[in-house]
Structure 1
Amino acid sequence: MTHPLSRRSALLGTAAVTGLALWDAPAEAVSRAAADTAAFDAARERWVSLLAGASYDAAYLEKTQAVEGSANAVLRKLAFAPGRPSLWPDLPLDDPRTGNFNRSYNRMRTLALGWATPGTALHGDPRVAETAVRALDFLYEHAYHEKLDRRGSNWYWWEIGVPRALTDTCALLYDGLPKDHLARWLRPLRRWCPDPERRISHPGVVETGANRAGKAMAVAMRGLLTHDARLVRRASRAVADLLRTTRGPGDGFYRDGSFIQHDVYPYTGSYGVDYLESVAKLIAMLAASPWEIRDIDDVYAIVDRSFVPFVFDGLMMDCVRGRQITVQGHRDHHSGHKTVEAMLTLLDAAPRRYAERWRPLIKGWLTRNQAVPYQAYAPLAGIAKAKALLEDPSVPAGPRTTGTYVFADMDRVVHRRPTWAFAIAMSSERIGAAEAMNLENLRGWYTGDGMTYLYSEDLTHWNDDLWPTIDPYRLPGTTVDTRRRADLRHGKRRLPPTPWAGGVALDGEYGVAAMKLVAGGSSLRAKKAWFLLDDAVIALGAGITASDGRRVETVVENRNTHDGHPPLTRGDGWLHLSGVAGYALLDGEGVKVIRERRTGRWHDIDQGATTGGDRTPVTRHYTTVVIDHGRDPRKARYAYAVLPGASVAQTAAYRGRTAVLANSGTVQAVSRDDLVAAVFWRPGSVETALGPLTADGPCTLLARRDGRRVRLAVADPSRTAREVRITLPWPVTSLERHDRGVRRTRKAIEVEVAGSRGHARTAVLRA
């Protein structure tokens, strides 16, 4: 066994070899080679500091102990048993389809992190390094080398999972590794991960988004570990390409902030977070090096457009986490904390205009969320940055983000007020309803069928074992029939055969969202709309029709109330759930309230080879509010208001506060004071208190009068119209400001929507 090298001896050895090779070289060449070696080492050490922290501080004792405990657990169970192809009894390596080889490298990374983290008992221990060398030799021989066959196992493990874990492990253990072994262990990456832009297992596939970013990390680290500048440059170029937005269709970031992965799925909070984390660390790692990633302003803009709207006090909204919602070890706070970590990393080089906005924003998130604090899950480097920010008296704790955000390119709408947020997940012929892959998200049938996500002061609602315990047939906001369903199949896509999904926002304060529901495997059809106001969300449904002999329901609410049932107050046409919201019924509907204890297992919804949940039953209490449309409804409808944080008195007094002007298959519309909001499914007219509002084509619109000014926002979520002609209830004398394609005629406003891809056209009019 080669004795582990100290960092000093490793550097001296490298210098000696370099000196022999360049003995007769000119002094300038020798100097350049030494500078290159220093650059490789400096970048690698920056990466290690991002993983393990730069120094030990007693303030991080708890986190250090956690790192040490995890590493000791790996070390304690590791056993070199002759004749058994595994390092750990629970991870046999005979069949790559189990993913155990990927898990084994993840455990090696955990061990290496304990060895490299200052303050742990394992830190720098030569015996631990010797054990790691033996283990990595064993894994090279039995689990991952350049001549192996995948045998039908997941390509991701071979091309991203293991390369990332292996290069991290080698970087963390670098000062204790014999360098001839290092080159051998990294050799398989030449076959399995040679280029960030190529997928070896599926020739012809060009890597995008998080997959390209993950591969870029592995390629860059291999280049730094082997002193191969070509690899580092290749990774740097691949990341620079990722920062460009796309017009679609397909993967990538869009100008409206949408992020798509796997062609048709919104994944900002999963693959998007992985992308952001990799890019932020690559930027930090290669800063001030010969391979520095330049022109990175786009990444800061991407954070503002794509990530900030979906983070609520450090939690990443589940409506953009795709199938990851069912992965037990990756909940909303994990994705949120990775976003915080990436932003803290980017702050080191962020332009002033971003830094001055982000610091209070992040401090507000960290200060308010004590239920699932960032410090409990962040790496030591992230904790150090967060601690510095929290202790900086010059930075105030910023308020929550407010505004209304329409992500037309991924059928998502988010409405944020000072004390709550409301998100809507829709689907269409462009955006898939739900992804199931690798036996994950087995019961996510309705997560993209108009499911609504209410975020309140209860920051544990979505992450407290909700997904294995909630009734998957009764997700809030959805209209469903009551048939039993089989688990979703791997890779099965459902793109509802309708273009109708999207919405419009006005001044970042108000919004409208709408989707035509075409249920999968059912005759159920409905037109669903949401009107997003300052204190309420008005939900309207019309044309609810089915003919399969089953009952149809609309789910007003399905709330996880954890270990008990909070007070529920009911009145004439309203009900109030303490600590959550009030609910006002606006169309005389009767509702059914179900209060139950529900038990489930994470394994029931995720049986993935490397992500599968455990089989331990968990129980939570739920309050479910349902409108029963009966068996085979014909043009049924509903109208209700969700009043987040409202008191009992406010709930009881709400009816009449907002007028429902229309709720039909032609138009759905509401008004409040000087605001009118409507969904025109086809040409139609609706009467307001001041006169008719008409549109000669499909659109969503908001109009608000303020004195002599009228603010107007129009979009065509159907993407079928060329131009929409709108007559407002107020006479319009002129256009004060307007987007391209908005014109005034004698009696109407004409809005050109062709080519807008569902995005808004706005104008300020003089009335």
Structure 2
Amino acid sequence: MELTRRRLLSLLSAAGLLAVVPPRFATAAEGAAGSGAVLANTVAVLAGTAQSNARAEVAGKLAAVEKGARSALAAMDRAGSGEVFAGLPLGSSDVNLTTTYRQLHDIALATRVPGGAPDLVGNAAVQTRVLERLDWLHGHVYGDQAAGYYGNWFNWEIGIPTSATRTLVLLADQLAAYNAQLLPTYVATMDAYLRNGRDGDVDLDSRFHTGANLADITTNRILQGALLGADGEDRVRKALTDQLTVFVTIDPYHLQHGNTDGHYADGSFVQHHSVAYTGSYGKALLTRVVQTLKFLDGSGYLDAAALVPVVRRWVREGFAPLVFEGWMMEIVKGRAVSRTTTGYQDVAVVVEAVVDLAGHSEGEEAAALQGWVKFVRANSRAPLDPSSFTSPLSIVRYADILADDTVPAADLGAPARSLAFNAMDRTVHRRPGWAFALARSSERISRYEYMSGENLRPWFQGDGAHYLYLAGQDQTQAYGVDYYTAVSPYALAGVTAPVEQRRTVPELYGTAWYDNPGHPLDFTASSTSQNTYVYFPRGTNRHSGGVTLDAYGAASMVQSDDVAWARRDLLPADFQVYRNATATKSWFLLDEEIVVLAAGVGDAAGRAVTTAVDARIAAPTDQVAVTGALPDGTPWPGPSDSAQHPRWLRYANATQRTAVGYLFLSGQPVRVEDAVVTRSRRLVRTANPDTPVTRRVLGLALDQPAGAPPAAYAYALVPGAGEARLRAYGPAHGDGPLTVLSNTVRLQAVKHTGLGLIGAQSFAPGRHEAAGISLDGPASVLVREARGRTTVAAADPTTDRAELAVLLRGRWLDAVSADAGVRVERTREGTRLVFDVREAYGRSLRAVLD
């Protein structure tokens, strides 16, 4: 049974809480057994068991644990004054302090790993060294509340407590003999550092205690409560009750505690209040809640039966559609796109969680999760290294799933599907052989995320940037950190940007943030103003959404300035704001084509503007070719300084065996750039190694000179197309399957005769007409005629309309089926469909007519 929002809220009520969190333990012995089970489970999850660690598949993990511990011990031996580990001076760097606690955890872990290095496992002297350093750290650094809490709040409230708590769990048997007061002293200090909470505890009204952050904090508090034994039972139950709120589906029209962070009904995941974040914070939340289920298993603290189906839905509807051949898509990783360990590594984290979730499932549900794990393994372009898993137990389960011949490899969705993650302004369109991912933005969702020196040049990543993933290719050669390093931030695929040079936050202000605590807006490192105007600014237009009909989709947005430009008169004089170009865009997502319409392309400030049709990178040694034809059918002559008007172009990488075709439907000149560039990965993230990246970059762009009137463009991407297929589309205004019906700032519409499909998206109030279809705008509509029936799907791209209407002129049809909220009427003009989109938050409604 799915745990609906209403059901979970009833379970969390005073009357229903016992359904998830059973009553208090009746006796002290039961309480001790419960705490003991939590601690034993945690050690087993982190260190494995004698049985798991005897498996050959775990050898790589044991070797990694030993290597980490020996490296840390050697650094401990070399430590100088004011250090626990050499090279990590303490007293002013929160990063060094966090790393110090993590390395103490690594040492402690090596002493508890069954089957590990004989001179480390059970070594009381090594364990005492760890406890001594914990004691010293508290006495000289961490325990000083007046001097602490510099740098990033996350390190003090989550990073350090996570490592310290797990270290104390691993060494729980030695704590009393060493110093019985060390545990309560640390717990009290960790409570005191929970400064974004309330009275040393979680505050569900705090903007810091949401989503993945809330799960991290509460899991730490659960383990701390288990360590405290009888004195910690209330702590465990309170932390668990707080954590249960992350299982609630976010209802944006009826927010709880003002919180927008979490999973939405359409599969979206948001963190930082407005950032699409499934692939980073989302996977962290998934990992943490599944780990907590394992920590609490059999303890008597939790009945997980109602929670597991919720997490399965996250995986099926939120994570699996965003994984392409073992790679996590760029559109849901926020600032993490600039990290060197992203993509395949992200999916390995998700796979471990799914492996363990399958162990909490039964029957067909367990088989479906196991089949997805095998599907990812079979289709990934990079080997998944299970030694990267946190738990040796997970490694064993993973190996057992792969060895089970009774479970076939299978994706959790159809090979051809279109998904509108409208709650986070994202769109994914999948077909066998390729996937198209689109990043939009609005006044609800951020245009980009920058923070802590990560993702230094993000300015246009939410302005219709797209990523076209092609099957069979190692995606590190197409996307990942090297894509953002090699491709100009003004020329990311799909982006319309002004021709100008912007500066990064460190370049502008000399620090990783804008600092002005004396201003009325209070600009400090993690202030609300910092988030709003620097870290993840939202757009200022409400129109961003889309519609799906079976395996087809359409998306649209009105490109806008961010809130900093809109509120520039309120900001300090030295705060840099940037103005955006203008564009109204639609994407129509079909079987073989992605059709893109853009109208009102220009700049109110009179700057030149460029629209990137696509941008692809390749290794300089790859065999890359670009061919094409002019409107009269003669061959395209190749890149030139003069204006060219190709009918179509084709990019082919023979080395990677990939190709993309481009149809130009509106006749403007196309600029083609083909260059080899070398840049450092540090260009996009200050913590990246200064590693030079050399890539061949192909860019296709539509340019608009300074001062020119607004333009309209129409083109299509045709993944995998050969030249014969591209030629078959015919001349620019001929008899090909694609017809552009309208391309204005009020209405954009296309027709595909081969599919019997019309897509129309209106951007203004009033009635809009396209090929016998009248729609009441703003609206996103798809109409398809197939097998004697007409199917109509509609959605509200603004998320705030009460209803919208679609009229099929001159046709009188009867409803065969219709979603709740759809009314079908016969009028003198034709068949009128009224869609009740009140509080639908961009969800598609449809009706089938005969």
Letter in 1 for 2:665: L
Report the secondary structure of 1:717's partner residue: coil
Report the secondary structure of 1:556's partner residue: strand
Letter in 2 for 1:235: A
**Residue 42 (structure 1) aligned with residue 37 (structure 2):** yes
Distance 2:224 2:165 in 1: 6
Residue 197 of structure 2 is matched in structure 1 by 198
Further displaced range: 242-251 or 678-687: 678-687
**For the structure 1 residues 730 and 597, does the alpha-carbon distance in structure 2 shift closer, same or farther, using more than 3 Å as the test?**
farther
> Alignment partner for residue 577 of structure 1, among 646, 651, 659?
651
Report the secondary structure of 1:68's partner residue: helix
Distance 2:181 2:327 in 1: 40
Contact kept? 1:186, 1:222, Cα under 8 Å: no
Letter in 1 for 2:358: L
Contact kept? 2:812, 2:826, Cα under 8 Å: no
Letter in 2 for 1:49: A
Aligned residues: 726
**Residue 396 (structure 1) aligned with residue 408 (structure 2):** yes
Residue 151 of structure 2 is matched in structure 1 by 153
Residue 339 of structure 1 is matched in structure 2 by 350
Distance 1:305 1:738 in 2: 23
- Displacement of 1:209 in angstroms is 0.6
Distance 1:580 1:225 in 2: 57
Residue 389 of structure 2 is matched in structure 1 by 378
Further displaced range: 647-656 or 522-531: 647-656
> Alignment partner for residue 276 of structure 1, among 276, 286, 289?
286
Contact kept? 1:170, 1:182, Cα under 8 Å: no
1:254-333 aligned at under 5 Å gives the runs 254-294=264-304, 295-296=306-307, 297-329=309-341, 331-333=342-344
Q: Deviations over 1:248-281 (max 9, x none)?
A: 2622222122222222212121111111111011
Residue 3 of structure 1 is matched in structure 2 by none
- Displacement of 1:643 in angstroms is 1.8
- Displacement of 1:241 in angstroms is 2.1
Contact kept? 2:38, 2:223, Cα under 8 Å: no
Contact kept? 2:440, 2:462, Cα under 8 Å: yes
- Displacement of 1:199 in angstroms is 5.9
**For the structure 1 residues 173 and 523, does the alpha-carbon distance in structure 2 shift closer, same or farther, using more than 3 Å as the test?**
closer
Residue 423 of structure 1 is matched in structure 2 by 437
**Residue 222 (structure 1) aligned with residue 234 (structure 2):** no
Report the secondary structure of 2:773's partner residue: strand
Contact kept? 1:599, 1:617, Cα under 8 Å: yes
Distance 1:351 1:725 in 2: 44
> Alignment partner for residue 452 of structure 1, among 466, 476, 487?
466
Distance 1:102 1:160 in 2: 10
Residue 525 of structure 2 is matched in structure 1 by none
Report the secondary structure of 2:694's partner residue: strand
**Residue 52 (structure 1) aligned with residue 134 (structure 2):** no
- Displacement of 1:496 in angstroms is 1.9
Residue 552 of structure 2 is matched in structure 1 by 510
Contact kept? 1:514, 1:529, Cα under 8 Å: yes
Q: Structure 1 unaligned runs (5+)?
A: 1-29
Contact kept? 2:326, 2:347, Cα under 8 Å: yes
Distance 2:554 2:540 in 1: 22
- Displacement of 1:182 in angstroms is 6.7
Distance 2:715 2:115 in 1: 57
* TM-score normalised according to structure 1 size: 0.89
Distance 1:94 1:503 in 2: 51
**For the structure 1 residues 123 and 619, does the alpha-carbon distance in structure 2 shift closer, same or farther, using more than 3 Å as the test?**
farther
Residue 759 of structure 1 is matched in structure 2 by 843
> Alignment partner for residue 262 of structure 2, among 227, 252, 275?
252
**Residue 590 (structure 1) aligned with residue 586 (structure 2):** no
Letter in 1 for 2:436: F
**For the structure 1 residues 78 and 397, does the alpha-carbon distance in structure 2 shift closer, same or farther, using more than 3 Å as the test?**
same
Letter in 2 for 1:463: G
- Displacement of 1:144 in angstroms is 1.6
> Alignment partner for residue 695 of structure 2, among 612, 620, 631?
620
Q: Deviations over 1:372-391 (max 9, x none)?
A: 42425323333222111111
- Displacement of 1:516 in angstroms is 0.4
Report the secondary structure of 1:751's partner residue: strand
**Residue 543 (structure 1) aligned with residue 600 (structure 2):** yes
Q: Deviations over 1:509-549 (max 9, x none)?
A: 00000000124533621111101112221111111121434
Contact kept? 2:57, 2:395, Cα under 8 Å: no
Distance 1:426 1:377 in 2: 33
Q: Deviations over 1:118-174 (max 9, x none)?
A: 443233333432332232222222232264543542221111111111112222344
Contact kept? 2:800, 2:839, Cα under 8 Å: no
- Displacement of 1:715 in angstroms is 0.8
Letter in 1 for 2:447: A
Contact kept? 1:680, 1:698, Cα under 8 Å: yes
Letter in 1 for 2:302: E
1:236-251 aligned at under 5 Å gives the runs 236-248=240-252, 250-251=260-261
Residue 95 of structure 1 is matched in structure 2 by 92
Further displaced range: 232-241 or 161-170: 232-241
> Alignment partner for residue 683 of structure 2, among 604, 619, 626?
604
Residue 486 of structure 2 is matched in structure 1 by 469
- Displacement of 1:411 in angstroms is 0.9
Contact kept? 2:428, 2:435, Cα under 8 Å: yes
What percent of counterpart residues are identical?
31
* TM-score normalised according to structure 2 size: 0.81
Distance 2:144 2:293 in 1: 30
Residue 498 of structure 2 is matched in structure 1 by 481
**Residue 745 (structure 1) aligned with residue 826 (structure 2):** yes
Report the secondary structure of 1:681's partner residue: strand
Residue 232 of structure 1 is matched in structure 2 by 236
Report the secondary structure of 2:111's partner residue: helix
Letter in 2 for 1:756: A
- Displacement of 1:729 in angstroms is 5.7
Distance 1:641 1:340 in 2: 35
Residue 717 of structure 1 is matched in structure 2 by 797
Letter in 2 for 1:587: S
**Residue 651 (structure 1) aligned with residue 651 (structure 2):** no
**For the structure 1 residues 188 and 126, does the alpha-carbon distance in structure 2 shift closer, same or farther, using more than 3 Å as the test?**
closer
- Displacement of 1:197 in angstroms is 9.3
- Displacement of 1:185 in angstroms is 4.8
Letter in 2 for 1:725: A
Residue 705 of structure 2 is matched in structure 1 by 630
Distance 1:161 1:750 in 2: 51
1:542-561 aligned at under 5 Å gives the runs 542-561=599-618
Report the secondary structure of 2:424's partner residue: coil
Residue 19 of structure 1 is matched in structure 2 by none
Contact kept? 2:92, 2:150, Cα under 8 Å: no
Further displaced range: 274-283 or 333-342: 333-342
**For the structure 1 residues 706 and 230, does the alpha-carbon distance in structure 2 shift closer, same or farther, using more than 3 Å as the test?**
same
**For the structure 1 residues 365 and 157, does the alpha-carbon distance in structure 2 shift closer, same or farther, using more than 3 Å as the test?**
same
Q: Structure 2 unaligned runs (5+)?
A: 1-24, 506-512, 514-529, 563-577, 630-646, 653-657, 731-735
Contact kept? 1:425, 1:452, Cα under 8 Å: yes
Q: Deviations over 1:476-525 (max 9, x none)?
A: 11111121112145532432221110101012x00000000124533621
Further displaced range: 52-61 or 527-536: 52-61
Q: Deviations over 1:565-584 (max 9, x none)?
A: 43223111222222142222
Report the secondary structure of 1:143's partner residue: helix
- Displacement of 1:349 in angstroms is 1.3
- Displacement of 1:358 in angstroms is 1.4
Letter in 2 for 1:198: G
Report the secondary structure of 1:728's partner residue: strand
Residue 349 of structure 1 is matched in structure 2 by 360
Residue 697 of structure 1 is matched in structure 2 by 777
Q: Deviations over 1:61-90 (max 9, x none)?
A: 2333233222222221113756x1111232
Residue 589 of structure 2 is matched in structure 1 by 532
Contact kept? 1:513, 1:530, Cα under 8 Å: yes
Contact kept? 1:399, 1:418, Cα under 8 Å: no
Distance 2:299 2:172 in 1: 20
**For the structure 1 residues 369 and 123, does the alpha-carbon distance in structure 2 shift closer, same or farther, using more than 3 Å as the test?**
farther
**For the structure 1 residues 706 and 172, does the alpha-carbon distance in structure 2 shift closer, same or farther, using more than 3 Å as the test?**
same
Residue 72 of structure 2 is matched in structure 1 by 74
Q: Deviations over 1:432-452 (max 9, x none)?
A: 111222222221111111111
Distance 1:727 1:209 in 2: 42
